[in-house]
Amino acid sequence: MLDYLRVLFFTSFGLSLILNSISIYLFFQSKGKETSNAYHYMVFFQFIFGLTYSTVSVLLKMQVLIIHGYLVFIVEYPYFMNFNFEFYRILIFIVSSFIYGNISIVTFVLIYRYFYACSIFFLSKILFLKGLCLALLLPMLVSFNLWNAFDIDTPTTIAYNFDLPIKDGFVFATIQDRSLATSYVCFTLYFIHIPFSSWKLYILLIGYIIYIILNYVIVIFVFKKYMAYFKSHLSVMSANSIRMNKDFIKILAYQAFLPLILSGGPVILTITTILLELPIRHVGTYAIVSLTFSSSINPLLFIVFYLTIKRFMRKTNVIDLNSKSAGARIH
């Protein structure tokens, strides 16, 4: 693996570990003795999922290369592991499910926040479990298309035959076990491919596009509903509450759209590169690195949200968190 990519993966892991841990602490501080509901559970799960996802991404670092008509996935794994094609196909399925699960978790947190702030539904544990199952099932369906698209009959030396740069860390070819040894003694690379000529690749890309668009549409719709709710209660809000809500809606916009842009943008760029067959070899890897940092964006924005409301409450003596303030109920 490229040295700077290795640094980025570990940096992402470190940031995610610190920020998600702080967010979990602040989450319990802000919630206090209030009875937990589906929104609380979903926010808490988001932080746990972020920690798990960043750990998986650093333990099973994955690259995606575009090499002469092939989409090549490279999994870095400890040297003592030596499994077959099916094992690594499942491994990539798991990593992919975590990557895209992070997108749907953000979407469901926004949905449940709207339900909570507007008191639309009784947010029971059952509702949380239903939302959680759906949030995890959708990326697993998309990742199943990836699992199904890999071709075991593709020559195992595609990357090596097409002159993958030695300076990138690839040193010795071990054709027999479909792997290349790296300059790092304790790790080996496993190559698995999808040819551009395969119809399964395009089913995979269509699935990704639908998934990304679906999340964007839901987020935009819910955000507009949130704005409409805020405007409908302007007449019963104090000047302080109105000012507070305007500030919080700005932060909410970042929480809603920034993770999706950070996650969806690189995926769309990768898909465009594949469809146009542009010679950008590492675009898929850059997309994965960008996706790993999304697990740090979510808790960072939560921390900013928490500190903003605390600072505002100290300045204005706003203490009624059960008021008709869309931004007040932030737990």
Tens digit of each residue's pLDDT (9 = 90 or more) over 174-196: 333 334 333 334 455 667 778 88
pLDDT at 322: 41
**pLDDT: which is higher, 264 or 49:** 49
Model confidence at 172: pLDDT above 50: no
pLDDT at 320: 43
pLDDT at 328: 47
Model confidence at 299: pLDDT above 80: yes
pLDDT at 137: 92
Q: How many degrees, rounded to 5, is the angle at CA 202 between CA 216 and CA 275?
A: 80
**Where is average pLDDT lowest: 83-97, 172-186, 276-290?**
172-186
Distances (CA, A) of 161 to 165, 166, 214: 11, 12, 39
pLDDT tier for residue 148 given thresholds of 50, 70 and 90: confident
Question: For the residues 98-120, what does the mean pLDDT come to?
Answer: 85
pLDDT at 182: 38
pLDDT at 22: 92
3-316, CATH topology level: Rhopdopsin 7-helix transmembrane proteins (1.20.1070)
Strand-by-strand arrangement of the 170-174 sheet = 62-67, 70-78, 187-195, 179-182, 170-174
Model confidence at 123: pLDDT above 50: yes
Q: How many degrees, rounded to 5, is the angle at CA 39 between CA 33 and CA 43?
A: 90
pLDDT at 102: 84
Q: Which of 66-70, 250-254, 268-272, 307-311 has the highest mean pLDDT?
A: 268-272
Model confidence at 331: pLDDT above 50: no
Structure tokens at 211: 């998934």
pLDDT at 176: 35
% pLDDT > 90, the chain: 5
pLDDT at 18: 92
Domain locations in the chain as residue ranges: 3-316
pLDDT at 323: 44
pLDDT at 155: 61
pLDDT at 140: 92
Instruction: Phi first, then psi: give them for residue 193, nearest 5 degrees.
Output: -125, 155
